[in-house]
Amino acid sequence: MTLNYIFNAYWYKCRFNLIILILLNFINSMIPIVSIYLFQKLISEIMTFIQNPNSARALMVIFSLQIISNIIPFVFNHLLNINNQIIENKISLETTSLILKKVKNLDYLNFESPSFYDSFQRVSSNTNNIVESVNHLILLISHIISAISVLAYLLTINWIIVFIIALGVIPYTLMSIKFNEKNFNLINRLMPITRKEQYFVNLLINRGTLKEIMLFNAFDFLKSKWKKEFLVLSEKKLNFIKNKSKMLFSTELIILLTFSLAGLVIISDFKNSNMAADLVAAIQSIQLFQTSLNNIAKSYSDFKGTLIFIEDYMNFIRINNLANSRELTKIEKLYSLEIRNLYFKYPNNHLETLKGISFKINNGKKIAIVGDNGSGKTTLIKCITGLYLNENLPIFINGIPIKDIDIESLRERMSVLFQDFISYELTVRENIGISRIGDMDDNTKLQNVAKKVNLLEVINGLNNQFDSLLGRYFEGGNELSGGQWQKIALGRALFRESDLIILDEPTAALDPISEKEILEEILNECEKSIIIVTHRLGIASLADEILVMKNGQVVERGTHDELLSINGEYKKMYDSQAHWYSFQRGVLR
Ligand code: ADP
């Protein structure tokens, strides 16, 4: 199965390079035995030449062949290097693309679990194993060819030598395989620490995080945390290498001993012979045979080692994703979205985060969701946008259960902006247009949106207007203020041609005037359905229906005036905010 997968990957992506790889390695594997043969011939020709200086021609021919046999591996190794890089480029592109394709199709719920990140990181940082595995396999075959060619010669001298040497290599092979498995297990076990160590490094080198760390003088504190993880990792890795060396040392010693023993046997075989060339060739052959067996053992255990990583990779690629065999309904237009008694629990939580939520949105209705921190507002948004694809979620799109909906087509009809939106280090055009890529070059549409979010003036003031680079990560970028970035993100949400806009705290970074102007325009003028999560009751009051959430439940619902008259949670929130904003007339109604 695994081999089949690897073979297919090579066959479809780089069969020409695979053939070159096999061919060059095959020729390379024959070179040592040819060299030994030529060396043996060379010695006898030298002997003849000493006795008869006129017979130089044969000597010169053998000598030239010897030189050629030395040059071939040298040239081939360079060609192999280039060929290997080409293969690595093609296969890495394929494996990494497959991982990314997998990420695109995965249930987002996976990304809420630390163990998923462990496996994800392990897989994504070991993509070179497919290339490695084929290299080891081909080397293994070359070494086997090399060993067989020399074996045929050695068997004509003494089969006991073959037996002794073969026996000596077995412990090494077994031990290497064992340590390759241990290596995989170690990487597995250390992954949470590795991720932690990388997390601290990222905190300490990232522009976004460094600002706060420096101002709180927290650099050394975090550095010491990084160092602690780093030292744990270093120690575990060192112990592993020490153990491995200790165990492999003794098995390599066995190889050395069996080699010496085989040497003694061969010397005793030749003790009555005066054929120096044959003796030298025999000793070289023993050495070659032993090296070949050694290499076979090493390639085999390395090959087995890479297979473990490839199986891991394949398991990851095979994780169930949202694609299923059922016929899925494509959504051309989103008329209604309904939730009926929704319960939801995160994989690592004991308690349910959402408990029995129901509501329906259609025909350009505007719903505001308000509630304390942690009451479940964002979780609810993640559920209704199809990020969590639990088959049983009671969400209905145009009356059809979400499990029967083609999610990509559903997402086409939605425009969602979370509070932790992305500030892309790209141009203004791309930052806004990424939500509707086909219209990214339409300046009129971009300008309309920029006007709605009060950004047109700022954009016109930039060197290249819509083609100005934003951010500070790349040379020539223009940094924006937090509020301006938020306006860009809002523009992105509005630019999308959707039927439902979902905004999760979309104006936290805006000044009150901009907030009022932009949201009034969106909520009053926009014909699309809108769900808006907000803390600001002034904004909520513009909605047709307000849902008040508390501890994962909708505890109150109605219009602004209805909710005020109930004199419950909403009224409490209203009173506290009225007190807070009382001097900002016009922002809070
Ligand atoms: P809100 O948006 O109303 O502030 P959230 O929906 O973000 O609230 O969170 C609701 C509850 O769910 C919180 O108690 C939070 O701890 C929990 N929660 C949020 N995200 C996760 C997650 N990825 N895994 C586990 N629990 C989570």
Tens digits of per-residue pLDDT, 439-455?
A: 999 999 999 999 988 89
Name the more confident of 410 and 585. Answer: 410
Q: How far apart are CA 465 and CA 434, in angstroms?
A: 17
| Percent of all residues in the chain with a pLDDT value above 90, rounded to a whole number | 35
Query: What's the average model confidence in pLDDT over 140-157?
Result: 84
Pocket lined around ligand 1, Cβ cut-off 6 Å: 112, 346, 348-349, 353, 371, 373-379
Q: How far apart are CA 175 and CA 164, in angstroms?
A: 19
Q: How far apart are CA 88 and CA 131, in angstroms?
A: 6
Name the residue with the closest Cα to ligand 1, atom 14.
Answer: 374
- Tell me what percent of the chain is helix, strand and coil, each rounded to the nearest 5: 65, 10, 20
- Looking at the DSSP bridge assignments, the partners of residue 90 are none
- Helix/strand number for the chain, H first, E second: 18, 10
Q: What is the pLDDT of residue 321?
A: 57
Q: Which residues contact 552 (CB under 8 A, 6 or more apart)?
A: 352, 353, 354, 355, 357, 375, 376, 379
Name the residue with the closest Cα to ligand 1, atom 15.
Answer: 374
Measure CA 98 to chain center: 10
Q: Ligand 1: distance of its center to the CA of 546 in Å?
A: 20
Q: Ligand 1: distance of its center to the CA of 552 in Å?
A: 9
CA angle 481, 482, 488 (to 5 degrees): 90
Atom of ligand 1 nearest to the CA of 533: 2
The mean of the pLDDT values for the chain is 86
Q: Can you spell out the DSSP letters for 379-437?
A: HHHHHHTTSS--TT--EEETTEEGGGB-HHHHHHTEEEE-TT----SSBHHHHHHGGGG
Q: Which two three-digit tokens encode residue 112?
A: 């809420």
Tens digits of per-residue pLDDT, 169-212?
A: 889 888 888 888 888 889 888 988 999 999 999 999 988 888 88
- Best residue among 345, 349, 535, 569 to mutate for probing ligand 1, ranked by most atoms within 8 Å of CB: 349
Atom of ligand 1 nearest to the CA of 348: 25
Q: What is the pLDDT of residue 583?
A: 46
461 exposed, middle or buried (CB, 10 Å; 0-12, 13-18, 19+)? exposed
Name the residue with the closest Cα to ligand 1, atom 25.
Answer: 346
Phi, psi of 329 (to 5 degrees): -85, 130
Q: 153 near 33, Cβ under 8 Å?
A: yes
**Whole-prediction pTM:** 0.76
**What angle do helix axes 276-317 and 159-205 make, rounded to 10 degrees?**
40
Q: Residue holding tokens 């969400």?
A: 395
Q: Ligand 1: distance of its center to the CA of 418 in Å?
A: 14
Name the more confident of 456 and 320. Answer: 456
Tens digits of per-residue pLDDT, 66-82?
A: 899 889 888 988 999 99
Q: Residue holding tokens 């009926």?
A: 340
Q: What is the pLDDT of residue 272?
A: 59
Q: What is the pLDDT of residue 196?
A: 93
Q: What is the pLDDT of residue 300?
A: 87
Closest to 240 in 3D by CA, of 296, 190, 196? 190
Name the residue with the closest Cα to ligand 1, atom 22.
Answer: 112
Q: Ligand 1: distance of its center to the CA of 357 in Å?
A: 15
Tens digits of per-residue pLDDT, 327-348?
A: 788 999 999 999 999 999 888 8
